[in-house]
Amino acid sequence: MAALFSLIAGAVFGIGLIVSGMANPAKVLGFLDLAGPWDPSLAFVMAGAIAVGSVAFLLVRGRQVSMLGLPMKLPTSRHLDRRLVGGSLLFGVGWGVAGFCPGPALTALGMGEGKALVFVAAMVAGMAIFELLERRGQLRTAGA
């Protein structure tokens, strides 16, 4: 049952990205390009997502299990460390250069966008390198 709801949630998310234009890297880059013809539509999409997410987090506050009976896995740490800041910076640079972040890239890949294939391949390679370094213990002490 959880897999079915995950599929439905992913489909709704992907459709939302397509309808809002956020699976189009040119639209995202238009938002990030403050010196050119700025496109503020991404700000409205983000504000809507934050509003919906805030309501959802308020509704589940204090719950130990989801409506499907699965354990709730909400973040508990409020600590900012080098790994979080560095990862955020790396994410932002990648987003600004490519116009993609993971969700829209996967959506665009499903739509047959060639540039998304390059982004997703680089994303998977980065995740694999992170896992390799994490398993070797090289990243555990870097964030301290």
- Tokens encoding 74: 């909400």
The pLDDT tens digits along the chain (144 residues) read 889 999 999 999 999 999 988 899 999 899 988 898 899 998 998 999 999 999 988 988 888 898 888 998 877 888 899 988 998 999 899 888 899 999 999 999 999 999 999 999 999 999 999 899 888 886 655 555
Q: Which residues have CB under 8 Å from 144's CB, separation 6+?
A: 81, 82
Q: Give residue 77's pLDDT.
A: 84
Structure tokens at 131: 């896992």
- How many degrees, rounded to 5, is the angle at CA 111 between CA 109 and CA 117? 20
Token pair 């309808």 in the structure block, residue: 19
- Angle, vertex CA 109, rays to CA 106 and CA 111, nearest 5: 115
What confidence score (pLDDT) does residue 44 get?
Answer: 92
- Sign of the torsion angle spanned by Cα atoms 57, 60, 63, 64: negative
